[in-house]
Amino acid sequence: MVKYPPSIAFSLLTMGANMILLGLFGLASARVQRLLQPLAVFGRAPLFFYVVHLFLYAGLGLWLTPAGTSIAGMYPYWLAGLLLLFPLTWWYGRWKQRQPPNSVLRFL
């Protein structure tokens, strides 16, 4: 199984795992769903989150660890990045929802 070039095994594995997770999220109790609600903020503006996170983590990496770090050492920076991105993504999602339904700005 290889990611590049895309293999059918990789595609089926990732889609299958995503479907299992979606099913588990749907079966979760109301209490668990409330705990997972912050994930919905990132899901309401996925392209914004994706583009901004590329620049944020590249900048954090160059600024804080120019020589590189281990995967375990990267977890604090990853969490810090999510904490920085959460209010930005929340604001952008709210701004996008306030646009009229026929506005091209809703597609940004």
Q: Environment class of residue 89 by beta-carbon count within 10 Å: exposed (0-12), middle (13-18) or buried (19+)?
A: buried
**Taking the domains of the chain in order of start, what are their residue ranges?**
1-35, 38-107
pLDDT confidence tier of residue 107, bands split at 50, 70 and 90: confident
Entry pTM: 0.73
Assess whether pLDDT exceeds 80 at residue 11. yes
Q: What is the pLDDT of residues 22-55, one digit of tens each?
A: 898 888 888 888 888 888 899 889 999 999 999 9
Query: What pLDDT is stored for residue 101 in this prediction?
Result: 83
Percentage of residues of the chain with pLDDT beyond 70: 98
Would you say 38 and 86 are in contact if contact means Cβ atoms under 8 Å apart?
yes
